[in-house]
Homo-oligomer: A and B are copies of this chain.
Amino acid sequence: MTEQTQKTEKQIFAEFLARKNLRDTSQRELILDEFLRREQHISAEELYDVVKQRDRTIGQATVYRVLKLLCEAGLAREVNFGDGTMRYEHEFGHEHHDHLTCTACGKTIEVVDPAIETLQKALAEKYGFCLLNHEMYLYGTCAECQGR
């Protein structure tokens, strides 16, 4: 199951590079591979750490550069939890979603509510706006953390 998905994502990246006349390098492949391995959002620095374990010579600037490319290619998405560090999550195969985060333990769940999406669109239109996209972050206490 994951194999099929990974193959497809790697294909997409290869096609993206070809289309943009960019080169297919071992560093780019390695970084994408490590990025795909983890399902949760990850920061550039964290990804740099794990990538370094496979190739000690890789530079952190390269990790930052590749994450930018992955976003352009539609494979990654930036998420900003407001702690000063940008994080990246998988975009491909993950439909649009918002985040529900526990302020006690930090656990984050991906959520979607079609009714909210509809109301957001209506709200924007009420002010004459054509809604392009949105971000919604819900913060609360999860079930486990409530039991304390």
Contact = CB atoms under 8 A, between A and B. Distances in A.
Interface of A: 78, 80, 82, 100, 102-103, 109, 111, 113, 115-116, 119-120, 123-124, 127-143, 146
A100 B115 contact: no
B132 A139 contact: yes
A129 B123 contact: no
A128 B141 CA distance: 8
B129 A138 contact: yes
B111 A138 contact: no
A123 B116 contact: yes
A146 B124 CA distance: 13
A134 B124 contact: no
